[in-house]
Amino acid sequence: MKKFLLVLLACAALNAFADDVAKGRAKADVACGLCHGPNGISTLPNAPNLAGQQAIYLSEQLKNYRNGKRQNEVMGVIAKPLTDTEIAQLSAWYSAIKVTAETP
């Protein structure tokens, strides 16, 4: 019974994560893709790639832009209206994108 409950809990957590990823993707398509690319690989020379970045790091940066601890003209304006939920969803989406690294 305990095992069954654990599996059920794990499934619920996975479902919640998948839901965050989907919602984050939809929001990012509209609000972030222009600069950070539709797949999180930046399309602007001065915008960083977000694909595959740690969710905790992304959330921290977005909150820092929002509260002014990290200052940037563009991201300050973009992060200002984001809720904690939206930040979690956007971070889930970008961290879920798989990237590989190849050394030269």
Nearer to ligand HEC, 28 or 96 (CB): 28
Residue tagged 């979690």 (tokens): 88
The least CB distance from residue 10 to ligand HEC, in Å, is 28
Nearer to ligand HEC, 6 or 34 (CB): 34
The least CB distance from residue 59 to ligand HEC, in Å, is 8
Q: 25 and 32 in contact (C-beta within 8 Å)? A: no
- Which residues are within 8 A (CB) of 43 and not within 5 positions of it... i.e. 6 or more apart? 34, 35, 36, 37
The least CB distance from residue 1 to ligand HEC, in Å, is 42
Binding site for ligand HEC (CB under 6 A): 28, 31-32, 34-36, 46-48, 50, 58, 61-62, 72, 74-75, 78, 90
Question: 60 to each of 8, 54, 68, 88, how far by Cα in Å?
Answer: 30, 10, 12, 10
Nearer to ligand HEC, 12 or 99 (CB): 99
Structure-token pair, residue 65: 């832009």
